[in-house]
Structure 1
Amino acid sequence: MRGLEVVDSSSSRPRDDPDKSAPVNPRRSSHRCCIRFHGLRLATCSLDQRIKTWTLDETTGNWASDDDWKAHDAPVCRLSWAHPEYGTILASCSFDKTVKIWEEGGVEPARGSDANAGSRWRERATLSESRTTGASVRAVEFAPRQFGLKLAVLSSDSILRIYDCVELHNLATWNLTFTIDVRLLQPPSTPPMSTTDMFAAPGTSLGASSNGKSYGSSVTGGRPGKREADGGWSISWCKDATTGQLIAVAADTYGLVRVLQLSDSRSHKTVFTLPPNASGATDSPAITTVAWAPLCGRRFHLIATGGREGKVNIWKISPPHTNVTTEWSVNLAGTFDDHQSAVTRVEWNVTGTILSSAGNDGNIRLWRSTYGGIWRTMGHIHTEHGDDEEMHE
C-alpha cells in the first residue's frame, strides 16, 4: 500500500527544486489535507500559516508539490475545494478569524513585498464576519454543486454562516445568506431513534433498543460560559440534492450533532439530531468531527461522527416517506472504541462504503459493512513510529 508522501512546507528546500516529491517528515507542521473531486489534486494546510497544493503523477503514483504560499496570519484550520464545474477554487479558514477564497490562475508579477510572488493562486475574497464576535473559524465546506457556489463556515462560537457567490465570474462578492447560532436552536420533534444490531466492535457491546426513546429533546439552548472553549467543530453537507439542502453541524460541548435544512427563502429548521451515544446522554464530551457519506444508490444515508469520548459512531438515516411518515428514521448502525483516545477525524471514500477514522492513538482505522449490514474493522494504518506506514488487518 503506497503511503501519501507529503513534503513539509517549512522545509528549507527552494520552491523551484525539481525533486518535489521527496518525502520529508510531515509532522512538523502539515496537519490537514483535502483531496479535490477527481482525486488528482491535493491541498494541505499548516500551523505555519501556509497552504501547499499537490498533483498526482498517475504513472508513478507519487504526489508532487506544485505550489506553496502564505495564506493567513495564524495557523490554517481547514480547506475545501469547490466543485470543478466552478473552476479551480479553494477555501481556507484560520485562527486569524477569516475565511479566504483562492483561485488558481496564471503567475502574476510581484508587487512590492508580496510574500506570495510567483504563486499561481490568487486571493479573491476575504470573509471576516467572525471577527465581529472575536471567534476563530474552525470549519469550511463548499456545498454540493447542485446548490450553486455556496460555502458553509463554522466558527468557534458555534455560529454557522452560509455564503453564496453573487457572480460566478467574479469571486470577490459573497452574500451572507444565513447566520445561525447553533447552540440556541430548538430541538425538532425528534423521531424515534433506536440502536440496531448491525455492528460488531471488539471489546464493545451495545444492546438494541426498541422503546422508541427520543434523544436530544432535552437540549434547549446553549450553556453560558466561554464561547471559544465550547466552540463549533465540524460540518458536512448531504451530497444528495433530492432531500434539499441538509447540513450536519457538530458544535458546543454537549456531544450533539444537529442536522439542519436550509431553504431558498432563507429559513432553516432542525430536522433531527444525533446524540453522542446510544443512551442519548447530552453531557458527553464534544463531537469534533462529522462526515456525511455519498449516497451512491442506497435508499438510506450514513453519517459518521467522532469525538473526545473516543468513539466512532455510524448512523443510518432514512428519509421520510410521504405516504407513510413525515419523520426521519435515525438508527445507530455501529459504534467502535478501538482508538481508546480522542477521535480527530472521520472521512468516507467516494462511494460511501468505507469509513476511515484518525485518533490520538496514532492510527488510521478503516471500517466497512459486511454483506449482512454489520460494520467491522478492516484494518488500520499505524503512523506513530517512523516514517514508514504499516497496514495491519
Structure 2
Amino acid sequence: MVSILNTIDTGHEDMIHCAEVDYYGLRLATCSSDNSVKIFDIKNGAQSLAADLKGHGGPVWQCCWAHPRFGNILATCSYDRKVIIWREQNDWIKWYEYSNHESSVNSVAFAPPEFGLILACGSSDGSISILTCNTESGQWDYKKISNAHTIGCNAVNFCPSTVPEPAFDQRGVGTKGSYGVKRLVSGGCDNLVKIWKEDGDRWVEENRLEAHSDWVRDVAWAPSVGLPKTQLASCSQDRRVIIWSSDDLVNWSSTVLHTFDDVLWNVSWSLTGNILAVSGGDNKVSLWRENNEGQWSMISEDASAPTSTNALSEQRTL
C-alpha cells in the first residue's frame, strides 16, 4: 500500500488543483481556486513557505516546473485566460505573461530540456500554444495550433526527446531514425487524443487516437527507457484509462487498463515508465504495473486522504 510520508498545510483558502514537486524533490508548487500559487521548501521532511505568488485573476488550474538547467522557473495557467512564467531571481518574479487565448487555459507542460525552454499550453478555446524562449535574450515567441480540439483542449504533454523518429531505407524497410523530433500529445472535449509533430515552422496533426466515449481529461507520454515500443496513457470522463502503444509512431494500438467507478482526472508515469498513477472522482490514487504478457494490474491504492478533483472537473469557458 501507498503510505503518507508527509502532510503539508498549504494555507490555501480554496480548492487546490495541482501540486508539483521540482526536479530535485526539494520544492513543492501548489495552485488553487484562491487565485494564488505557493512554493514550499520541503527539505529533510520539513516545510517552509518560500513564495506566495499573486498574478492571476481567477482559479489557477495547473503548474509545472522547467528543467533546472534553465534556473528555477515555474509556469502556471488559469481561468483568467493567462499563462504566467515565474522565475527566481533572489525573489520570485513574474518573468513573462502570455494572454493570447480567448478562454480558460487548462494545461501547461514544458518540453524535454534537450529541445530548449519550450512550453505548451492547452485552452478551452480549442487551441494549443507553443511558447519558445530565446535563453540568450530572454525573449519569448509563440506559435499556435488553432482548432486543435473541438470545444476545448484539456491536457497537453510532450514526447520524450529520446524517442527515435522512424526512418525508411531505399527499399522502404523501416530503420532506426534520428533522435530529437518534437512531438506533443493532447486530449480534448472532442473525446480525442491527438499527436502533433513539429514540421518546419509549424505543428501538424500526425495521429488522432479514437477510443474514449467522453471528454479526455489528461494525457501522459511514458518516459523512454530503451524499450522497443512507445507508450502513452489517457484518462477520461468515460471512467477509463487507455494505454496507447506503438512500435513505429505511426500505428497505435489501445488497451483499456481498467474501467473505474468514477470520472478520472489525472494519469502520471513513474520516472522509469513502468508504473502508472491514476486519480479521479472517487478520491483514490492507484498505482498500476504492466507484466511481461502486457496485462495491467493494480499494485497499490490509497484512499486514506481525499484528493481534490482536477481543475478540469469544472467546465471552463468564457
TM-score interval (norm. to shorter) = 0.7 to 0.9
CA deviations over 1:229-277 (Å, ceiling 9, x no partner): x32100110013443111001123x3110001013x2133222222234
In 1, Cα distance between the equivalents of 2:215 and 2:255?
20
Q: Within the alignment, does 1:72 sit opposite 2:56 as a pair?
A: yes
Note if contact 1:294-1:351 (Cα within 8 Å) is conserved in structure 2. yes
Q: How does 1:190-339 map to 2 (within 5 A)?
A: 222=150, 230-241=151-162, 242-243=164-165, 244-252=181-189, 254-263=190-199, 265-277=200-212, 284-319=213-248, 328-338=250-260
Which among 146, 161, 178 is matched to residue 144 of structure 2? 178
CA distance in 2, matches of 1:68, 1:368: 37
Kindly report which structure 2 residues correspond to 1:351-390, keeping only aligned pairs within 5 A, or say none.
Answer: 351-383=272-304
SS where residue 129 of structure 1 aligns? coil
Deviation at 1:139, TM superposition (A): 0.8
Deviations 1:142-192 (A, max 9, x none): 1111111111111101101111113x1554x21113333213xxxxxxxxx
1:283-335 Cα offsets, whole Å, 9 max, x none, are x2111111111011212111111111111111112225xxxxxxx23112342
Quickly say closer, same or farther: Cα 1:29–1:82, change in 2 above 3 A: same
Q: Distance in 1 between matches of 2:20 and 2:248?
A: 29
2:205 and 2:306 mapped to 1: Cα distance? 43
Q: 1:385 to 1:35 in 2, by over 3 A?
A: closer
Identity %: 28
- Residue 146 of structure 1 aligns to a residue in which SS? helix
Instruction: Considering Cα pairs closer than 8 Å and 6+ residues apart, tell me whether 1 or 2 has the greater RCO.
Output: 2
Query: 1:54 corresponds to which residue?
Result: 40
Q: What corresponds to 2:263 in structure 1?
A: 342
The answer for the alignment partner of 1:33 in structure 2 is 19
User: 1 CA distance for matches of 2:17 and 2:304?
Assistant: 13
CA RMSD of aligned residues (A): 1.9
- Deviations along 1:102-159, one digit per CA (max 9) or x if unpaired, are 00121xxxxxxxxxxxxx21001110111xxx31111111111111111111110110
Amino acid at match of 1:296: V
Going from structure 1 to structure 2, the CA distance change for 1:154 and 1:353 (only over 3 Å counts) comes to same
Give the Cα separation in 1 of the matches to 2:208 and 2:6: 35
SS in 1 for 2:24: coil
Q: 1:248 to 1:4 in 2, by over 3 A?
A: farther
- Aligned position for 2:98: 127
Q: Is the 8 A contact 2:127 2:144 kept in 1?
A: no
Matched, 1:157 2:125: yes
Cα distance in 1, alignment partners of residues 245 and 47 from structure 2: 35
CA–CA distance in 1 between the matches of 2:137 and 2:33? 30
- The structure with the larger Rg is 1
Aligned to 1:212: none
User: Partner letter of residue 298 of structure 2?
Assistant: T
Checking the alignment, whether the CA contact within 8 Å between 2:27 and 2:43 is kept in structure 1 is no
* In 2, Cα distance between equivalents of 1:39 and 1:348: 16
Aligned length: 289
Superposition pairs for residues 71-110 of structure 1, below 5 Å?
71-106=55-90
- Matching residue's letter, 1:355: L
Structure 2, unaligned runs of 5 or more = 166-180, 308-318
* Match for residue 105 of structure 2 among 121, 137, 145: 137
Q: Which residue of 1 aligns with 2:170?
A: none
Whichever structure has more strand as a proportion of its residues is 2
1:178 alignment partner AA: K
SS across alignment from 2:252: strand
Q: Find the residue that maps to 1:329 and give its secondary structure.
A: coil
The answer on whether the counterparts of 1:9 and 1:68 sit within 8 Å (CA) in structure 2 is no
Deviation at 1:100, TM superposition (A): 0.6
- Tell me which residue corresponds to 2:9: 7
Measure how far apart 1:36 and its partner are: 1.6
User: Is the partner of 2:220 in helix, strand or coil?
Assistant: strand
Whole-angstrom distance in 2 between the partners of 1:36 and 1:8: 16
TM-score, reference length from structure 2: 0.85
CA–CA distance in structure 2, aligned partners of residues 385 and 301 of structure 1: 33
Cα distance change, pair 75–234 in 1 and its aligned pair in 2 (3 A): same
Unaligned 5+ runs, structure 1:
12-27, 107-119, 184-221, 223-229, 278-283, 321-327, 387-393
Q: What amino acid maps onto 1:306 in structure 2?
A: C
Contact 1:8 1:29 in 2 (8 A): no
